[in-house]
Structure 1
């Protein structure tokens, strides 16, 4: 019998409700859901009447990690749309709840979206028009709380896991300098110097609120501790021996580093480079862990590389890395690099104009992934539909189809039975 011991014992009833057992059960269920993930062709993201959509594709996507209810998408035209994932309609459509007003949206494309990790009603955006904006969700349109004009095109940003009152926002862009923004003020609180080219990616440690990593266009990955001022602690080097990282300029990739993630325990850093490589680093000593991923990664655009880490009982180390790869999703064992899953956008969707994956987020409690997409050949999707997709367990989104098939089968059997019993019964 191939079943999780935790689920088996839970079904027998010996488990008492406590935080640990609930967390363990949640992990097992979520892991099971991710195992069977596929493109959800039954769901469409559409617009309510009166809401203007993204006219040039969807650059980026952000999700509320606290309640898993809200999702925000940012368009190549600067538009920002809010989605309530709990308001799914009987026709399987998820309709846009509202959008940022014209006077509050950036003049150029939105490059990244992040929710505040401590308050799901707050989110922030960066844009190619050199602005960082903070928003508050309201029952009507989101309110723009503050806009910070900066001196470079902005590629991405990351919010510190510190308390909501002290959470700094690190901003990366075409300038080699990293700006730290304190939302309580109207100006930059600190600037980090060390990169010599544009900074394409940035990510705070989930454990230590003063530690962050950044990836440069020159292939460097630098680690910072803002408690020690604007000085870089060290850089990751592919050729470095097993010793602590030093401050000399290291080389993590042979191309720009446009993707950075920390593992959930803060002990590992995952980097994605425009050389088509993904590497996993020991955050404690800066050593490359030499995890080898298959040579299938397509990463040639400077925009933020879409990837997330989810829990998985199928992975040796318990964590799975998902990446967008043009028009498909790939899942890897983070411990050994083995490819665990490869799912593609259906050809019919591609023909309709749904292009490469630009952004990727997870709705962890539900075992769901959401992606934002470019539009192919400038096509506009039909039916007031947006370039957003959901990926979820097949046995969930195909459940209704199975029920319809069963109902149809039952009807046919009933017809056969009635025809067979309609005439007189004779005995011989």
Structure 2
């Protein structure tokens, strides 16, 4: 932000929203990894650098409440759940970074989920309750204060994804399951109301419209994305077609019930609406991210390049930065791309940045894995944006949770240089040790003889 912009604002030549968007967008572009640690237990006195991870078997999903933007939920591959207070770190690590311990947590017991958590979401109008889904075929309602479940629904099928409308008062939970029909659960009656049939494969993702409380979208392993009107007895409105860049009949293309139109040439496991509901983003196993006009169903043909990776059935949902913090029509999307986060301009598909974790943070987590840890790869499994702040959080298959916060580029470069210097110093020490060991083994391996006169 320069002096000219401040003067223009003070004289009234520039609207205050323009200045605020400019400042906020700079912070979004300055997101950098931090060494913040989320740990199930505090560091030991004997070894202050030793931390456990957030979930020993891996973190599958994250959710942050949208009221205060203060509480973070995490779901583990071992069915554990953690609740974290993002404003109150429990301690400071030996290198000066905050360490968060869970406010409360659940472990794998016969009363909780028996298999890994697939999705967590806060109740739409009250952060004192949240919902969870699991590979054990169940959807549960929990109290955020006690982490005790108050209701459970058995859908008799693996539940990959659940969605609650951010605006509706009908309290229907859309469930994407292994069964080729979207299941709807009514939280008021506590029963499964009806199913939305049309897909020919397992459903991996679903998402409610943020502006129309009766419109739902779903994506499945058959490569199709379908739109539904839950008020109608035959609810399907149409499907998306990757070959359609114009839009048919001013709505999602194809005739009702058709199965030939594909949004992706492979399973669709990620779906996200823009805040105004005018576009929807889909992600598929064809290594493509597509942006669609929801009024016409047209493929906007945004090209995100060849770097996109997507090969797991688990939900892979991108995150959008709040549009109030960005220039008009300059939406920014964050995509969890295996071991890095790709930052794109949404409508142009231009790659803005590639975010990777600090080597120091990776080593810290690798050195504190603990027993029973199975997933050792640093694959990113989920992203969550913190409301009212410019902060991003990522879940990792190695059991850790990473925080991304704005930092000047100069500071980040200095951190990288320090990491490189430490790595070079360690390499130099290792080479010296190897040389000394070679000399030692060479001397010990020589045969010593004593000659007589």
Shorter-chain TM-score category? 0.7 to 0.9
State the match for 1:341 in structure 2: 353
Query: Aligned to 1:71, what secondary structure does the other structure show?
Result: strand
Following superposition of structure 1 onto structure 2, how do residues 390-409 of structure 1 map, counting pairs within 5 Å? Answer: 390-395=403-408
Return the alpha-carbon distance in structure 1 between the equivalents of residues 105 and 410 of structure 2: 27
TM-score by length of 2: 0.77
Within the candidate set 207, 215, 225, 1:221 is matched to 225
CA RMSD of aligned residues (A): 2.9
Following superposition of structure 1 onto structure 2, how do residues 227-242 of structure 1 map, counting pairs within 5 Å? Answer: 227-240=231-244, 241-242=246-247
State the match for 2:443 in structure 1: none
Partner deviation per Cα, 1:330-380 (whole Å, 9 max, x = no partner): 1110111001111112334445256100010101321000011002xxxxx
Partner deviation per Cα, 1:86-120 (whole Å, 9 max, x = no partner): 11245111221101364542000000111123212
Partner deviation per Cα, 1:32-67 (whole Å, 9 max, x = no partner): 3211001112x1112246999522111111111221
State the match for 1:47 in structure 2: 40
Query: Aligned to 2:269, what secondary structure does the other structure show?
Result: strand
What count of residue pairs does the alignment treat as equivalent? Answer: 381
Query: Aligned to 1:74, what secondary structure does the other structure show?
Result: strand
Following superposition of structure 1 onto structure 2, how do residues 213-292 of structure 1 map, counting pairs within 5 Å? Answer: 213-240=217-244, 241-244=246-249, 245-246=253-254, 247=256, 248-249=258-259, 250-292=261-303
Change (3 A) 1:8 1:237: farther
Structure 1 position 133, deviation (Å): 0.7
Alpha carbons 2:171, 2:188 under 8 Å: kept: no
Structure 1 position 317, deviation (Å): 1.4
Return the alpha-carbon distance in structure 1 between the equivalents of residues 184 and 12 of structure 2: 50
TM-score by length of 1: 0.82
Alpha carbons 1:181, 1:187 under 8 Å: kept: yes
Is it true that 1:181 corresponds to 2:204 in the alignment? no
Query: Aligned to 2:383, what secondary structure does the other structure show?
Result: strand
- Structure 1: tracts of 5 or more residues without a match: 376-385, 403-428
Change (3 A) 1:38 1:231: same
Following superposition of structure 1 onto structure 2, how do residues 81-120 of structure 1 map, counting pairs within 5 Å? Answer: 81-91=82-92, 92-100=98-106, 102-120=109-127
Partner deviation per Cα, 1:370-414 (whole Å, 9 max, x = no partner): 011002xxxxxxxxxx51110111149969x99xxxxxxxxxxxx
Query: Aligned to 1:365, what secondary structure does the other structure show?
Result: coil
Structure 1 position 228, deviation (Å): 1.2
Alpha carbons 1:316, 1:333 under 8 Å: kept: no
Alpha carbons 1:161, 1:167 under 8 Å: kept: no
Within the candidate set 22, 26, 36, 2:30 is matched to 36
- Structure 2: tracts of 5 or more residues without a match: 44-51, 93-97, 367-375, 416-453
Return the alpha-carbon distance in structure 2 between the equivalents of residues 182 and 48 of structure 1: 38
State the match for 1:308 in structure 2: 319
Alpha carbons 2:64, 2:387 under 8 Å: kept: no
Q: Give the number of the structure whose alpha-carbon radius of gyration is greater.
A: 2
Structure 1 position 25, deviation (Å): 6.5
Return the alpha-carbon distance in structure 1 between the equivalents of residues 25 and 296 of structure 2: 30
State the match for 2:390 in structure 1: 367
